[in-house]
Amino acid sequence: MTLRQGSRLGERRLQFQFDGQPLTAQAGDTIASALLANGISLVARSIKYHRPRGILAADQSEPNALVTVGVDAAAIANVSASSTLLHDGMIVRSQSGWPTLGFDLAAMFGSMRGVLSAGFYYKTFMWPSWRFYEPMIRRLAGLGPAPTASDAPIVEREHIETGIAIAGGGAAGLIAALSAARTGARVVLIERDSTCGGELDFETASIDGKPAREWIDDTMAELLQRGVRILTDTTLVGESQQRLLAVHRPARRDSQTMYRIHARACIRATGAVEQPIAFINNDAPGVMLAGAAELYLARYGVHVGKNVVLFGNHDRLYATAKRLLDGGVNVQAVVDTRAYVRPLHIEELRARGVECMQHHAVRSSHGRRRVHAVTVVSLDDAHRSQRISCDTLLVSGGWVATGTHGAVTLDHLHWSRACGAAAGAWPLQEVLNQASGVGIEAARVCGYDGTAVSTMASGDPAPGVQAFVVSPATPTEQKLQFVDLQNDVTVADLRQAIDEGFVDIEHIKRYTTLGVGTDQGATASALGAAIALKLLGKPNELAKPSRRRLPLHPISLAALSGPRIGTAFAPIRRTPLHDWHVANGAVMESMGLWMRPRYYRSNGSDASSAGIAEAARARQSGGFMDASTLGKIEVHGRDAAAFLDSVCLMRASLLRDGRSKYTVILREDGMVIADGLIMRLANDRFITTVSSDHADHLAAHFQYWRDRRWSDRRILMTDVTEAWAAIAVAGLHSRKKLSTLLGRPFVEALGTLAHMSFFEAQHRGQELRILRASYAGELGYELHCRPDAAVSLCELLIDAGLKPYGIEALDVLRTEKGYLGGSEMNGQTTPYDLGLSAQLHANERCIGSALLNRAAFNEPERQALIGIRAADGRSRFLAGAQIVATDRRTRSAGHVTSAVFSPALSQWVGLALIDRSVVSSGVSLLAMDPLRQLQTAIVTTAAAHFDPTGERMKST
Amino acid sequence: MLIDCPFCGPRDSHEFQFLRVLAPAGADEFNEVYGRVNRLDVSVELWQHRHGCQAWLVVERNPSTAQVLSVALLRGDRP
């Protein structure tokens, strides 16, 4: 095979595979150009009817040619063949052909076109539910599969601060950049191709007397020399609140960069998208956009066909025909829908043997896997038609500016303008004049000024497009006139949507799936909108395509998340005892960001049996647990007590030094957000401890109220969570054991320490604070020490014969006692609901208490916390089960918030939030758990299942 | 969206956490929580520089353009 000549091609040969077939390509090829060069025209099957499809476009507007790249679990699906650079050894597979692309069983759907119309799925698969059919339908109709493994590409993120960001490096983008850069403004230019130039690449154009390519190279050189940053291979994917998002895809896929560009001004020089025309079988392989054929020829030296017919509604067709002829492609005919075409265009082509037809249209193409002929019909007389043999039909229905075809523009957010073809400018001279003016305007926004660069350019003349969107066809034939190739939406579907009452294009879009594909309807939205207007009998000038949504082009989730994944997104917090737990066989579990020991392997093979064993042992012979994750906020200052009085449901000001008290903290709306203890260290010093998952939130809550109401008072607040490790020791003999192991100065203090009191002393030269309190409901002490003393303290406890227990056991112990956990304080429960009315009487002026007087909180149906057990004293029930009354099983009366097997009571016990009126009616209750197939008759009890009077905890 | 923190300078809005719209002066407890001033041009909001200096801020924003109009410390604004 001889080397092809094209502006993007290198000389190196590449090997690649398509559906297992080894093929060769040249460096610089895209997947699509390589396939075309190898004579492959059938590259995909369509999503709904499994019709054969080829390559339509030469850029990201491609609707058909989506392929899977790679082989293993990390293969990337839905890659656009027309805009993806091929590299050596690439393994490319077609999608949605089963069992093979050439012989597709599901193509029988093609004969069901009349059935699979718009809204078919919505209307048909209703019984028993859509979920029943969805997996089958997804298998048949869907794009490629999502990768199951991560290929972990390195995604870097770069923030760029600049004056002007310009999207698009075609003629307009380059001249705008040049004008702006010459004033001294800072400019960043984003170009999706590997080099700038856009359509100048293949248009017969000259600027300032130079051939286009030379002008491009000179301009890029000057831009670089002026410090303009040119990001090639970079796609604009979004524009949002004062920043642009762009993704850089280098030639090799092992790294990519997401740029966030903050600019004072943005210029969209993103050009225009060539539009197809709807005719019968316009989706067959061999039908291609005219501009794409030119591009494949100029950049990749590819002849898209041997015998070509051009079909369109503008003058550019004739320039294209000439360039194709010059490139060695045989052009059979040019079919123009316009009645009048200037003779100048026609004469030269006729002389070269090209048939030129005016006021004619291609009615249909023939050939299933590849076009082999087209039927051309006169627009004056529908009965006059002729058949022309050809293997390729190039179609062009004009252009739609990317701006109007829906790019989300946020002009009101920051200075942002379209220029060039994106602003509707045409031809080249006008594009250059307009764009250089916009470049100067943007520079002024950044505080620079100058004169617009003026140029003399010649290129293709203005095309003189006359709207023509759909060829004549009968209503039955409209089922073969495709509007959205990616979603198999036809003219008949649009007509049906309109017949069913949809008028607005946004509604038609949603009903028919017009333009909802990965291409965002680049070649479908504007066409569909224009055809819909025609069907509605409205003038074409009103055509407004449906809106696109971000991202403007498909990007991987990895590109969005960047390096912030895993622990870089959510760092792991470890307590000072973490390594000790692991060394002692703990199974660690994450709770929020913290890692905590769930259970110790030596106590059982699974969490539930180990947890029960650990809890039973703690009640019998004592134990200890790591409580370092407890949130600790130190509040200090002359007004600390008064401040705490206002944010906590207790009176900190009445607390004596060395004493602590239980408190709950309310949100402004009266809901309980956390509970904990307040310890008074000194007259002006307090520590508030709260459950681990609330520390951050609570600190913010406290800071808010300090700033809001107490900013002129003397209060300092510090989160000291990590400054203190904490070990909770529980058990009947804990006092004796602590006295023995801590030695002299502690013996006496421990002996007289009352429940909820604490003292501070030095142990082995380090601070140790001992608080008598227990979340396990036993005689217990919390040892608060500095982090580096925690491990040696732990070893002492082990030496004294105490064993550690994990959070699984803690959950058993606290549920037996009816203490509150996160599932009870769920942000929707008031102190009344949780049985904390007594707390409320202690401090009625606390934040949140005012709104507790609302009537709804006192309705008899309001759910309240209550203890539950199985009616038979044996059966199991689990947290999350719904509670229903046996006389009204269809209505939820509440749910189980906590459920554990209690070793102390030898049965399942739990806490539940249940409708008070249902409880007081005495009706029998069921815990229904259909997901886990449990149904348990339950009875209600007091929340405290074990030792309700707290004798064990308060024992002397 | 950039928020100009009085302590830290202009920082990306990712660093801040929104709490709610600030009730107009003199609102009772109920309206303090549930009252909503829903103006297109100005929204006075409470934000905390959560991933920064922790300062609580009163941010005036134009919700239809996402433009930040002013930033002040909550501390200076006592009802």
What's chain B's length in residues?
A: 79
pLDDT at residue A237 in the model: 85
Determine if residue A856 is left, alpha or beta; phi over 0 gives left, psi from -120 to 50 gives alpha, anything else beta: alpha
Pairing of strands A392-396, A307-312: parallel
**Distance, CA of A669 to CA of A653 (rounded, Å):** 24
As given in the structure block, the two tokens for residue A99 are 């069992």
What is the token pair recorded at A776? 């396990």
The reported pLDDT for the residue numbered A875 is: 96
Residue of A707, A708, A852 to mutate, interface with B, max B Cβ within 10 Å: A707
Residue pLDDT, tens place only, B16-70? 999 999 888 888 889 988 887 888 889 999 999 999 999 999 999 988 777 899 9
CB < 8 Å to A707, chain B? 55-56, 73-75
The pLDDT, as a whole number, for residue A126 is 60
Q: Which residues of A799-831 are buried (b: 16+ CB within 10 A; e: fewer)?
A: ebebbbbbbbbbbbbbbbbbbbbeebbeeebbb
- The predicted pLDDT at position A115 comes to 56
CA A454 to chain centre: 44
Q: What is the pLDDT of residue A350?
A: 95
What tokens were used for A85? 């650079």
Strand partners, A245: A238, A260
The pLDDT, as a whole number, for residue B60 is 95
pLDDT per residue over A410-419, tens digit each?
445 567 888 9
DSSP structure class, residue A547: P
Calculate mean pLDDT across residues A529-550.
Answer: 84
Measured distance CA(A309)–CA(A392) in Å, rounded: 6
Task: Please report, in angstroms and rounded to a whole number, the separation of the first and last CA atoms in chain B.
Answer: 28
Q: What mean pLDDT comes out for the span A197-219?
A: 89
Q: Which has more confidence, A626 or A412?
A: A626
pLDDT at residue A584 in the model: 95
SS3 category, A496: helix
Chain A: nearest CA to B64, how far in angstroms? 9
Longest dimension (CA), chain B: 34
Lowest mean pLDDT of A762-766, A797-801, A840-844, name the range.
Answer: A840-844
Whether residue A689 has pLDDT greater than 90: yes
Tens digits of per-residue pLDDT, A68-104?
888 777 788 888 899 888 989 999 998 865 556 666 6
Contacts of B33 in chain A (CB under 8 A): 668-669, 851
Give the Cα separation of A549 and A538 in Å (integer): 26
Contact A412 B65 (CB under 8 A): yes
The answer to whether residue A548 scores a pLDDT higher than 80 is no
Q: Do A700 and B50 touch (CB under 8 A)?
A: yes
Question: What would the two tokens of residue A825 be?
Answer: 């304080």
On whether the CB atoms of residues B16 and B41 are closer than 8 A, the answer is no
Is the preceding peptide bond at A99 cis, omega within 30 degrees of 0? yes
Say whether pLDDT at A114 is over 60.
Answer: no
Q: Let me know: does A871 contact A924? Beta carbons within 8 Å.
A: yes
pLDDT-based confidence at residue B79 (cuts at 50, 70, 90): very low
User: Taking a C-beta distance cutoff of 8 angstroms, is the pair A770, A679 a contact?
Assistant: no
* pLDDT average, residue stretch A885-895: 93
CB pairs below 8 Å between A and B: how many?
A: 47
CA distance A852 to A830: 8
Cβ pair A703:B73 closer than 8 A: no
Note whether A905 and A816 are within 8 A (CB): yes
What is residue A877's predicted lDDT score, i.e. its pLDDT? Answer: 97
- From start to end of A421-534, where are the E strands? 457-458, 482-484, 489-490
Percentage of chain A surpassing pLDDT 70? 92
Residues of chain B in contact with residue A413, where contact means CB-CB under 8 angstroms, are 65-67
C-beta separation of A82 from A291 below 8 A: no
Asked if A530 and A539 touch (Cβ cutoff 8 Å), the reply is no
pLDDT at A930 over 60: yes
Block residue for tokens 């010459």? A182
Chain A residues touching residue B48 (CB < 8 angstroms): 700, 703-704
User: Hey, are the CB atoms on A413 and B64 less than 8 Å from each other?
Assistant: no
Integer distance in angstroms from the first to the last C-alpha of chain A?
A: 97
Residue with tokens 């280098």: A250
**Whole-number pLDDT of residue A885:** 96
Q: Which of A242, A412, A704 sits opposite B56 (nearest CB)?
A: A704
Residue B46: closest C-alpha in chain A: A704
Q: Is the pLDDT of residue A947 over 50?
A: yes
Whole-number mean pLDDT of chain A? 89
A579 falls in which pLDDT band (50, 70, 90)?
very high
User: Which of B29, B55, B56 minimises the CB distance to A850?
Assistant: B29
Total Cβ atoms within 10 A of residue A241: 13
Contact of A483 with A531, CB cutoff 8 Å: yes
CA-CA distance, A639 to A587, in Å (whole number)? 44
Give the ranges where A650-733 is alpha helix by DSSP (H).
Answer: 695-709
**A415-418 vs A255-268, strand pairing mode:** parallel
CA distances from A632 to A43, A688, A725, B53 (A): 63, 6, 10, 19
- CA A224/CA A219 separation, integer angstroms: 9
- Minimum distance, in Å, between the CA of residue B37 and any CA atom of chain A: 18
Mean pLDDT calculated for residue range A378-390: 94
Question: How do residues A852-879 score in pLDDT, each as one tens digit?
Answer: 989 999 899 999 999 999 999 999 999 9
Q: Which of A669, A704, A709 sits opposite B78 (nearest CB)?
A: A709
Q: What is the three-class DSSP state of A638?
A: coil
**Token representation of residue A493:** 């579907």
Residue among A410, A479, A65 at smallest CA distance from A243: A410
pLDDT at A406 over 50: no
Given a cut of 70, whether residue A106 has pLDDT beyond it is no
Q: Is A607 exposed, middle or buried (0-12, 13-18, 19+ CB in 10 A)?
A: middle
Q: What is the pLDDT of residues A337-350, one digit of tens each?
A: 999 999 999 999 99
pLDDT surpassing 90 at residue A757: yes
Contact B33 A707 (CB under 8 A): no
Interface of B with A in 1-40 (CB under 8 A): 1-2, 17, 19, 29-30, 32-34
Distances (CA, A) of A166 to A145, A187, A267, A429, A713: 35, 7, 5, 20, 52
Structure-token pair, residue B27: 């609102």
| A244 Ramachandran zone, left/alpha/beta (phi>0; psi -120 to 50) | beta
Three-state secondary structure string covering A345-375 = HHHHHHHCCCEEECCEEEEEEECCCCCCEEE
CA-to-CA separations, B55 to A428, A556, B5, in angstroms, rounded: 54, 36, 8
Instruction: Give per-residue burial for A432-449: e unless 16+ CB within 10 Å, then b.
Output: bbbbbbbbbbbbebbebe
**Partner residue opposite B66 with nearest CB, options A241, A668, A851:** A241
Are the CB atoms for A832 and A857 separated by under 8 Å? yes
> How many other CB atoms sit within 10 Å of the CB of residue A740?
15
Q: What is the reported pTM? A: 0.79
Q: Six-digit token pair at A652?
A: 């900190």
Cα gap A174→B11, rounded to integer Å: 32
**Distance, CA of A802 to CA of A620 (rounded, Å):** 11
What percent of chain A is helix, strand and coil (3-state, nearest 5)? 30, 30, 40
Distance of CA A245 to CAs A160, A422, A539, A946, Å? 10, 19, 37, 59
Consecutive H or E run containing A431:
helix A428-445
> DSSP assignment of B22-41, as one string?
PPPTT--HHHHHH-----SS
At A1 the pLDDT is 62
Q: Which amino acid is at B52?
A: G
At A554 the pLDDT is 81
Average pLDDT over residues A308-330: 95
Quick one: CA torsion of A210, A216, A221, A227, rounded to 10 degrees?
A: 130
CA distance A289 to A467: 16
pLDDT of residue A405: 39
Q: Is residue A119 over pLDDT 80? A: no
CB atoms within 10 A of CB A121: 16
Which residues of chain B are within 8 Å of residue A699 when distances are taken between CB atoms? 54
**Per-residue confidence band for A795, with pLDDT thresholds at 50, 70 and 90:** very high
Which chain B residue lies closest to A696 (C-alpha atoms)?
B50
- Cα dihedral across residues A737, A741, A747, A749: positive or negative: negative
d(CA A623, CA A779): 11
